[in-house]
Amino acid sequence: MTDILTNDEISLLRSLEKKSRTIIGNFTHKRYDRLETKGYIKRSSQSPSMQDILYEITDAGKAALRAAGGAAG
């Protein structure tokens, strides 16, 4: 069964394909959780307090984006 990405997830992957995103402060990361669980994005802490989180798209995320017809360019 093919995993269907939501429009929101496709939009997030597109934006991460163009530029990694750092999210600072007390922000809900729920919209990223499913993508991270599937291995489409990775997150890493940018500060000791774990407040600044860097999100980057993975090769699997790029492949999923292409499969969804949402590749940039």
For the chain, domains (ranges, CATH) are 7-66 (1.10.10.10)
Q: Could you tell me the pLDDT band of residue 40, with boundaries at 50, 70 and 90?
A: very high
Q: Could you tell me the pLDDT band of residue 1, with boundaries at 50, 70 and 90?
A: very low
Q: Which residues contact 36 (CB under 8 A, 6 or more apart)?
A: 42, 43
Q: Is the dihedral of CA 58, 66, 8, 6 positive or negative?
A: negative
DSSP H helical ranges for 19-58: 30-37
For the beta sheet containing 21-24, the strands, ordered from the edge strand earlier in sequence to the opposite edge, are: 21-24, 52-57, 41-45
pTM for the whole thing? 0.75
